[in-house]
Structure 1
């Protein structure tokens, strides 16, 4: 059986959860604590998560590489790359994601402690705060206070992707790796206080979750354990 070692709150981990769910692959989840690279190595062999453990015992990190490997290892499952999305379309969504990265994380960083295993764990929050504030150059409180500014900075890019998924249903007419990236990465926006997302974007999140049979919002894990 597959085992996914991940953080409940991590956008990159959410990508893989969506891929596994869409492919209807049976997997167990191990929710790691956000205690730092040494701890991550001790439980997964990698300094970053997600990490997937395959039935043969081999392990792999990096979310998009994992998703590509799932296509290769399980060819009878619905594809997420070839047959689901053209190379040019995938390159376009990756360029869009790179363009919004800074603003996106300024927006979602203060929301992610709503997930169990982060905001309710002082040790994890200490590491998370130090890492996020060092990277983003502002305090959690400052980021939260300026959320309307950050949102306005990426609203045009967000509207563009919203228009596309509303038109096609998914990023293309069928679920693909692009949807694992968009929905997994943008889910934190749904937790923003005082900011209402477009109904079309919320409808898209619902379609993606239904297609994968996975909920992306904070909820207790139904299986696995906390380490």
Structure 2
């Protein structure tokens, strides 16, 4: 069983049916799912959430300075973190939002030891603002923060995808799910799990990844209890 984990969420999990914006009902449902999975466990949880429902630098920032476009995306992740915090605290779960970009009126600055202390006290720590620098994805942020806070694994949440496949299951009906892989196999087979920087960091530090369908019934709870779900990637 894992004692401390980092959950990587897509910003689209908070969005409306078109994948844009922040839908309060959808966000509340996501919060209840996470809280229900935590109930009765001793898992210490940190969350990194993306901002693709609000802004994607490559798509929305065409013609802009790339660094500026990325900073706008980082601000979007803070908005998502605050929305998820509100939903979780409304449902009774103490949380803290911490950001790599200082904005003390709305969130705490990210300090590694403080984040760890919050988790030890039973608070869910939601990490926004990326890692404070442009040109890095939230995949890389999730890996970096997991290593910093001593997380034993990254749970990489998907929607309607229950693991890693040998080819795109949306295009190939005969695609086979892979229950276990090494980081190197993911690189060599060019499987699109996460960006290369994040995957290389996981491989170098031997940080396990679990790719799973967040919305398949009880998957997250089963993971918190130490059951095998989705695809495990480890060295």
Name the TM-score, length of structure 2 as normaliser: 0.31
**Greater RCO structure (CA 8 Å; 6+ sep):** 1
More helix by share: 1
More strand by share: 2
